[in-house]
Structure 1
């Protein structure tokens, strides 16, 4: 009878007639049974019908998005940890500038808008902010200012002029437009000449220090009858009739000197058709001059001068005029804080610590900063007083 395949040579069996150790038959049979069982258990098995149903249902729910994230893997802690790390990095990015900003606000609370801590610095900064350019006459006088004493460092403290422009920056020309038959170029020329007159008469350092106002005189038409002769007379021999301060802002250098290099300026110009075949310019400007005594004390006083001018550039084809010069048709002024009835060709500021030898003010009180009203003059017999300087 042939041998069964499972009964081949057993390990350890020697050749016929040889002597060697051998595995008992019982143990060998058990080994074969265990091996066969392990092979059967490790072979792929077809899932049961129930398992197939559960798997299919889960697959359909997953496709419809009905399963929560991570249902196969449990809580997505890796993703959550990643978001936490991003948050930490974001706070690190924001936190450093935020800390710097907090430190700056602690040192200077006025950096916050609206002065939330009630320091008052925001209001003070707003009060000192420059005013927009004046384009027409204001409707009321400027509001009251804090009663601060002017100093060399702040010569305009306590004055509405602290918010005004400095010097020439306060003389802003309106847009030049043609007026009737007068071209825009000629209108622009008239505006520039008017500004040159205002600067030369009121802002030129030489003029303010009492020198001859040559730049201003050079703008005026020498063919205008009597004008330059009268002005020259006033500059040479000032008197009540020929007083140069009616057109020029001049201080006696032996009595006072400017408190700094800034003169505050505010006003506006308007244009219209002239009476001499050209264009007429109306100028209304106020200048504020801080000064100290020339003999050394540092007490600051302010003189306020408002000037109203009407000038024209005439048509040289119709009138005997000098091209490129102004006809001075009218000029008027109002001077605040200057001694009355002194006709030596200079302005004389009053200082709080001393009184002048002139008469006590007996005229009406006026606000020299009120630019909303036209100039008014009495009969010249009274010395008025100002409500503030």
Structure 2
């Protein structure tokens, strides 16, 4: 039997050994924590604030804070109102912006240029012409004319429609003629222009009866020339000198609008008369006569017409008539040297255009800045 078994001294537990540096770190940390947790004496400023708050509380006063300060409260109220306003206005506005983004054409005027064309022109009408222009109209986008937009690519898009473009100037007395007599001469001149250049029957090759009735019957030579030209036109008796006419077997109007641009003036004549000058450009869009034709061509006719009214107290004057003193014209885009009494527009698709080759100068038929070039047939720069 061993000594342990025989009641000897029991064996001891092994002794744990902690390094010195660990004990030192533990001592330092304990001392720092004790100092940090120790109660501190309030500063003098803290004691003053505490005392002031205690006295206000005793008097029932509440110190201004972020919830009770009036200035801050007003600012908070304004912010709340802005939030409510945004809820009322901003949300519908955001919805509207989203809708317009999906369909911009809802905005008036199509500011983004995204609305599909409906065949109408957006060009603004020109103001009335009161004096000769200083230059030809500027170039426009070379759009191809269509049945929906027969004046596309032309300055005529900004011209007035038909007779609305013939604006009478304010009348006044001239010499021995009264204001009413001068106004009558202006109206008769417009009547002659409208029937000669805008009447659908005249344009289809009909006889311009109303225009002929305005011409003083004492002008037998002129009336004889025009009547013969309407019946049997030729180079020396051409009704196109005064009337716009198309062959209905060849072309038909592209729509029911003719564009008109010009001015009317008047002045005293040499024999106690009033002389009215009318200077107008008419733009005619047409298509081929056959059914289903869609290609559009334009013929441009500029006319300068001088009429004269005599004082009926001094001269024998037929009531409701005026004398024709001058009738000049310049025609753009019509066959040259064809004297059948009709205008013959040239189409882009024409393989062999009718008439002789142009021999006159190159002209811009929309240029109204100079005198009318009567009698020549030149090449037009645009139509």
TM-score relative to the length of structure 2: 0.74
Q: How many residues align?
A: 316
Work out which of the residue numbers 227, 242, 245 in structure 1 matches 2:240: 245
Residue by residue over 1:66-90, the C-alpha shift from the partner in whole angstroms, topping out at 9 and shown as x without a partner, is xxx979x932476555434432343
Of residues 141, 150, 158, the one that matches 1:163 is: 158
Cα distance change of structure 1 residues 175 and 84 upon mapping to structure 2, 3 Å threshold? same
User: Post-superposition shift, 1:267?
Assistant: 0.3
* Pairing partner for 2:278 from 280, 283, 294: 283
Change in 2 beyond 3 A, CA 1:111/1:280 = farther
CA distance in 1, matches of 2:283, 2:105: 33
How much does 1:100 deviate?
Answer: 2.6
Distance of aligned partners of 1:92 and 1:188 in 2 relative to their CA distance in 1, 3 Å threshold: farther
Indicate conservation of the 8 Å contact 1:313/1:324, yes or no: no
Q: Structure 1 residue 180: deviation in Å? A: 3.1
Q: Tell me if structure 2 keeps the 8 A contact 1:251–1:346.
A: yes
2:306 aligned with 1:310: yes
Q: Against the structure 1 CA distance between its residues 88 and 253, is the aligned structure 2 distance closer, same or farther, given a 3 Å change threshold?
A: same
Q: 1:244, CA displacement in angstroms?
A: 0.5
Correspondence list, 1:90-105, <5 A: 90-95=85-90, 96-97=92-93, 99-100=95-96, 103-104=99-100
Work out whether 1:360 is the aligned partner of 2:354. Answer: no
Of 203-212 and 181-190, the range deviating more from structure 2: 181-190
Judged with a 3 Å threshold, the aligned counterparts in structure 2 of structure 1 residues 118 and 108 are, in CA distance, closer, same or farther, namely closer
SS in 1 for 2:324: strand
Task: Answer with 351-360 or 126-135: which moved more.
Answer: 126-135
- Picking from 321, 334, 343, the partner of 1:338 is 334
- Whether the aligned pair in 2 keeps the contact of 1:179 and 1:272 (CA below 8 Å) is yes
In the alignment, structure 1 residue 300 sits paired with structure 2 residue 301: no
Cα RMSD for the two superposed structures: 3.1
Task: Flag the 1:294–1:172 CA change in 2: closer, same or farther, 3 A.
Answer: same
What is the CA–CA distance in structure 2 between the aligned matches of 1:232 and 1:315, rounded to whole Å?
28
CA distance in 2, matches of 1:263, 1:126: 14
Q: Would the alpha carbon gap of residues 255 and 268 (structure 1) be closer, same or farther in structure 2, given more than 3 Å must change?
A: same
Aligned equivalents of 2:255, 2:109: Cα separation in 1: 32
Counterpart among 134, 138, 143 of residue 138 in structure 2: 143
| Greater Cα offset, 173-182 or 245-254 | 173-182
2:203 to 208, 212, 225: 208
Distance 1:366 1:104 in 2: 47
SS at match of 1:181: coil
Task: Within 5 Å, give how 1:1-389 maps onto structure 2.
Answer: 74-76=68-70, 82-95=77-90, 96-97=92-93, 99-100=95-96, 103-104=99-100, 107-108=103-104, 128-296=123-291, 297-354=293-350, 355-377=352-374, 383-389=377-383
- Give unpaired runs (5+ residues) of structure 1: 1-53, 56-68
Q: Please, which runs of 5 or more residues in structure 2 have no aligned partner?
A: 1-54, 57-62
316-325 or 173-182, which deviates more = 173-182
Label 1:110 to 1:131 Cα distance change in 2 as closer, same or farther (>3 A).
farther
Q: Which residue of 2 aligns with 1:39?
A: none
TM-score with structure 1 setting the length: 0.73
SS at match of 1:90: helix
User: How far does the alpha carbon of each residue in 1:22-72 deviate from its partner, in whole angstroms, 9 at most, with x for none?
Assistant: xxxxxxxxxxxxxxxxxxxxxxxxxxxxxxxx99xxxxxxxxxxxxx979x
Distance 1:384 1:104, change over 3 A: same
